[in-house]
Amino acid sequence: MKKLAVVALGGNALLRDNQSGTIDEQEQNTTDTLENLIFLIREGYDLVITHGNGPQVGNILMRNDSGEQTYGIPQMPLDICVADSQGGIGYMIERMMRNVLLKHGIKKEIVTLVTAVVVEETDPAFQNPTKRVGKVYDREQADQLAKAKGWTFKEEIKVAGGWRRAVPSPVPKQIINEKVIEYLAHQGVITIAVGGGGIPVYYDADGKVRAAEAVIDKDLASGLLAARIGADEFYILTDVPFIYRNFKKPDQEILEFLDYADAKRYLEAGEFGEGSMAPKINACLKFIEHGGQKAVITEAFKLEDKSYGSKITKIYDPGDKEKGERRKMKIKD
């Protein structure tokens, strides 16, 4: 059987910080990123692709606001907005991937699955919403919306005097249709799933599937999917080529090879940013815990170059520490 890899595309794979977010920009960014997956296909891997949706679902929520205020169109709940973003982004990735495969003369089927992910209704995150979504309001507007809709608001870190809606971010527990995803992937179908962390749902006392007003961390959901479908390798593509200790500090250190124990120790010691690298490390650890062989965090455009990327395995491969030390010396030189 071929090796199976789950590749999680970070937000910068679709939209750069300095861009306005036009469809032309997003399609070009997506194409550039997908070009880097060709080598995995040529090396015989079956692929599942996951992706973020932060800017896109935020824009959908703002259109929700505008439509209600301007035209009286009823707002859609957050789960529907996540589903909308999954379908739109998945379609874009699928179409761009078909064109990339055509360019390289590769024939493969591709499918996008709008994916629901199960969370627990009792997850503590529902009592402490922390994930900021949607439009930035002033304090008066935020207070009015909190009263009218029962929303929770928190100060926006990047905008002085701004407030944004905060929603729960519960831990993913199960991927609905995970067996379908596994089957398709092992049939050689490039499968796009768990977009934006998946649509958050829970089972009620009668076993019915209910929607949750929440968002799920994309990397955690992707790592869970990778573990549950028996993937051999899990890749998180981001905007930095390595995991670092003391990131952007004078004593910054590249961590290229990590075993499970060291990665967990660094995570628990607070070595990684809570809003950036820590969730990615946690997702990789969960994958390794459930039998995954190797997790890699690297820059999207460095994926094929194996001299880049931080690798997390259950135990060190022989020589990894020595290779890591040699690489550090090379980079310093």
Give the residue numbers marked as catalytic. Answer: 11-12, 131, 218, 280
* Residues whose CB falls within 8 Å of the CB of residue 191, separated by 6 or more in sequence, listed in order: 47, 48, 49, 110, 111, 113, 181, 184, 185
Rounded Cα gap, residues 223 and 292, in angstroms: 9
Side-chain-side CA neighbours of residue 269 (13 Å):
9
Helix (H) or strand (E) holding 138: none
Angle between helices 218-228 and 277-289 (to 10 degrees): 10
Tokens of 1: 């059987």
Residue 197 burial (10 A CB sphere; 0-12, 13-18, 19+): buried
Q: What is the maximal distance between C-alpha atoms in the chain?
A: 64
What is residue 131's three-state secondary structure?
strand
Distance CA 224, CA 294 (A): 14
> If phi over 0 gives left and psi between -120 and 50 gives alpha, with beta otherwise, what is residue 51?
beta
Strand ranges (E), the chain? 4-9, 46-51, 110-112, 116-118, 131-137, 152-155, 163-167, 174-175, 190-192, 199-203, 209-211, 233-238, 243-245, 253-255, 257-259, 294-299, 310-313
* Residues 333, 328: Cα–Cα separation, whole Å: 9
